[in-house]
Amino acid sequence: MSTYLTICIFVVDSMYFCATSSVVCE
């Protein structure tokens, strides 16, 4: 989960990608 969170923060510009990672993590 931490890994996905890190990617989300690192790729904050890609909000869509961030949302996708959250779904995968869920």
Domain count, the chain: 1
Greatest distance between any 2 Cα atoms in the chain: 21
Tokens 């995968």 belong to residue? 24
pTM score > 0.75 for this model? Answer: no
pLDDT in tens, 1-26: 555 555 566 555 555 566 665 555 55
Q: What does the pLDDT read at residue 18?
A: 60
Domain around 19: 1-26
Q: What does the pLDDT read at residue 26?
A: 52
Q: What does the pLDDT read at residue 23?
A: 55
Q: What does the pLDDT read at residue 10?
A: 56
Would residue 7 be called left, alpha or beta, if left means φ above 0 and alpha means ψ between -120 and 50 degrees?
alpha
